[in-house]
Amino acid sequence: MKKGIVVLIIIAAVIAAYFIWKKVEAPPKLVEIKLSVVTKPGSAQNIAAEKFKELIEQRSKGEIKVKIFHSASLGNETEILQQVQMNTVQMAVITGGPFDTFDPIARVINYPFLFKDNAQADEILDGPLGTEILKSLESSGFKGLCFSENGFRNLTNNKRSIKSPADIKGLKIRVMASAIHKAIWQALGANPTPMPWPIYTELEQGVIDGQENPLWVMEVYKFYEIQEYMTLSRHVYSYHIDVASLKWWKKLDSKTQDMIQKAMYEAAVFQRKENRDKNAARLKLLKEKGMQVEENPDIAAFRAKVANLKDMDLYSDPRVNAMLLKMLDATQ
């Protein structure tokens, strides 16, 4: 009889231990992701975010849910990145510029006239140098997943047609919150004004004379209504970093991490292609809307003005400098 009770107690203890262990070990069933972008639906960032949501929700059979916060509803890109660091936002698609203040390594890809075309940008950013940059963001609390794109940036303004840097002199140009972007426009002779997105009102009211962004921005944000001149300067390849909170990432099991990584990369590849496929039609539309487009600016003169940027203090951190040299070596 006594023996029977002991056996029962042991069985009960084993069952209890099993359930306690299961509760501790079992990953939470539902993963909820807040994903933030500063721009509105139809934007490059949003297209990458929407595609990611579609892929991951389908593949996880509903176990991973994504809620997208767009149109600066959680603040500007710097503020979004702070929330990602704290894990109050789990993921974001962020333009390369604002990363600059979190980790100066981001400056390397913003280097003017770095990539000669889309194919080269993909080759480098999807390759070992891109991976090294993503990895180094971990020291500032980010898990860099991959790169989607804004595209090559072009100058618009409301004062005059611009063919060479001499025409830029004194123009008040809005730039992203990024030391390298500011330095580029200083070197080109403008009066650069850092300002977070969005900037339509400032352009409309003449607080700034111009801005620079890829073609989709001029269409989606209707800049053709308020900017008369555009120059196809293609001075910087503007990337997005598709990023996750490192704090959050570390808590996910490896299967979930792999699924997220894979879906975000596929979304990025999809978005880059769709962005590029639309550029010819966008240029046509912007001309039809009345923008005067300088299609053959004096790029050699632009390049000459920014040739010394690599020697500036901006790149003096040994880690950043080493990466810049590797990048220039691989591209120029």
Q: What residues line the site for ligand EAX (CB under 6 A)?
A: 38-39, 95, 150, 176, 197, 213, 217, 238
120/23 Cα distance (integer angstroms): 49
Decide: 287 and 218 in contact? Cβ < 8 Å. no
Q: Could you tell me the smallest distance in angstroms from the CB atom of residue 165 to ligand EAX?
A: 20
Phi-psi region of 61 (alpha: psi -120 to 50; beta: other; left: phi over 0): left
Decide: 204 and 226 in contact? Cβ < 8 Å. yes
Q: Closer CB to ligand EAX, residue 33 or residue 217?
A: 217
Decide: 55 and 263 in contact? Cβ < 8 Å. yes
Q: Closer CB to ligand EAX, residue 110 or residue 245?
A: 110
Q: Closer CB to ligand EAX, residue 217 or residue 314?
A: 217
Pick the closest to residue 110 from 181, 45, 165, 37 (CA basis): 181
> How far from chain centre, in Å, is Cα 192?
21
Q: Could you tell me the smallest distance in angstroms from the CB atom of residue 130 to ligand EAX?
A: 19
Q: Closer CB to ligand EAX, residue 150 or residue 233?
A: 150
The residues, ordered by sequence, that sit 6+ positions from 245 with a Cβ below 8 Å of its Cβ are 84, 85, 86, 87, 89, 90, 91, 141, 142, 143
Decide: 324 and 310 in contact? Cβ < 8 Å. yes
Q: Closer CB to ligand EAX, residue 134 or residue 176?
A: 176
Q: Could you tell me the smallest distance in angstroms from the CB atom of residue 40 to ligand EAX?
A: 10
126/272 Cα distance (integer angstroms): 12
Identify the residue whose tokens are 């194919």: 119
Q: Closer CB to ligand EAX, residue 141 or residue 151?
A: 151
> How far from chain centre, in Å, is Cα 275?
14
Query: Per the structure block, which two tokens stand in for 239?
Result: 């990337």
Query: Per the structure block, which two tokens stand in for 118?
Result: 């889309």
Q: Could you tell me the smallest distance in angstroms from the CB atom of residue 176 to ligand EAX?
A: 5
Q: Closer CB to ligand EAX, residue 60 or residue 227?
A: 227
What does the DSSP assignment read for 298-318?
-HHHHHHHHTTGGGSGGG-SH
Q: Closer CB to ligand EAX, residue 195 or residue 293?
A: 195
